[in-house]
Amino acid sequence: MAERAKQMERLKNYADEVARRRDGKWRICTLLPCRVAGVICEYFRRQVMGLLYVVLLVATLGYTRRTLSRSGSHHEVVWTIGGAFLILTVPLTLSLSWQHLTNFVEPRQQSQTIRIIWTVPVYSTTAWLCLRFPENVIYIQCVREVYEAYVIYCFLQYLVYYLGEEHDEMASAKLAKYPAIVGHHKPPFCCLPPWVMGAEFLNKCKTGVLQFVVVRFCTTIVAVVLQSMGTYGEGQYDVRNGFFWVWLVNSASQGWALYVLFLFYHATHKDLKEIHPFGKFLCIKAIVFFSYWQGVVIAVLLSHGSITRTDMHSAEMVARAIKDLLVCMEMFVAAIAYQFMFPITDYKGCSDRSRSPELERPRQAASVAYALWASCLPLELQDDIWVHVCMMCEGLRAACPAICVCAGKPKRRRDSNARDSDA
């Protein structure tokens, strides 16, 4: 009986092996043609897109040359050049965004990536609109200035989502394992007390970035109000003008936000090395920080008389045109850099980033509609602002019990980008 049982066991194993091989051959025969067809389609798509872009480039250069040769207005020349760079910039970023939208396998991270990529068309479009409609420049700049603060928050969220995968608590647990010296401040903030690694470090980093979003939004509204009252005085560093105080508050707030972002990157760069955070950090800092201080330098040159008026335009309009034209040109370079810093290959065919071999499995891409919805709605920003406001209210209530504000522990709404692990 024992011999017969062994014989039956061998027959069963042989049958299972035959079935497994047959199943493997069937999968190869059915899936391999699909994969080959997909690779061929992707290859021809890239070739067609490249050819269309070359045609667009030639047409844009031809139209720009013809317009410049027959135009006698400096204003038309400037906005034509800016429009040429805009036409060449936007297709690059839209193509990269579409690749992420159609391969939306990491909702938390890719939603932040798409918002960061949209920095380039937002900056270039608003800069060209400022060139085309200089009388409305103060209102058009509002969009760029608010989005500038928002993109810094998106980049921090991008790093936190990669570090924590599911929730902020996971990121806090990883940060708590770091040595205490990582929480010590760098120059010029060495005098500040060190931050305790863990939840405190993460919360203070988020607070440092969120304050810039709120401050930038408020100062933008103040600038519009002062401009309508005629007391703004853009480009004039005079304490009697509102521009000086708005510039001072924005510079301090932006400097602290970028310092906090650098501190978080410095603490976690070893765990983030798989996504090459330095290049991404450099791109965002170059766009936000460099473009802001570039405008400051132009304003200083204007105040010292280095920029003079033309026959038809004032010195202030000339300075704004120089700044916006430089932004249009720089965004074309940024669009090319983003192709390498935020490629779809970081996510295409990836696993769920659990970094556990037994849990690695391909994730199905979400629909384009869901990807677009998740990328457009800043629900996590609303949640973070509410949570931090409630934390501040709790601190005030603890310091002064007579003040009853925001009683109760703040609750965070479930992440809108969260997806079931079985999806």
In this prediction the pTM is 0.76
- Listed in sequence order, the residues at least 6 apart from 296 whose beta carbon sits closer than 8 Å to its beta carbon are 247, 251
**Count of positions (residues) in the chain:** 423
Rounded distance between C-alpha atoms, residue 423 and residue 406, angstroms: 37
Identify the CA nearest to 116 among candidates 261, 296, 271, 255: 261
Residues 131, 78 contacting (CB under 8 angstroms): yes
- State the pLDDT at residue 58: 73
H/E run at residue 259: helix 242-268
Rounded distance between C-alpha atoms, residue 348 and residue 101, angstroms: 11
Cβ-based burial of 398 (10 A; exposed 0-12, middle 13-18, buried ≥19): exposed
Residue keyed to tokens 């950090």: 281
- State the pLDDT at residue 31: 43
Domain covering 71-347 assigned CATH 1.20.1070 in the classification = yes
- Which amino acid makes up residue 77? V
Residues 119, 322 contacting (CB under 8 angstroms): no
- Which amino acid makes up residue 355? R
Identify the CA nearest to 243 among candidates 186, 304, 296: 296
Q: pLDDT tens, position by position, for the chain (423 residues)? A: 666 666 666 666 655 655 555 454 444 444 445 444 544 555 555 656 666 767 766 777 776 777 666 766 777 788 888 888 998 899 889 889 988 988 888 888 888 999 999 999 999 999 999 888 888 888 888 888 889 888 988 888 888 888 865 566 777 788 888 887 878 888 888 888 888 888 888 888 888 888 998 899 999 999 888 888 888 877 677 788 888 899 899 889 988 988 888 888 888 888 888 888 888 888 887 887 777 778 778 878 877 777 777 767 777 788 888 888 888 888 999 999 998 888 888 876 444 444 433 334 446 777 888 888 888 888 778 787 787 778 777 777 777 765 554 444 555 544 545 444 444
- State the pLDDT at residue 119: 92
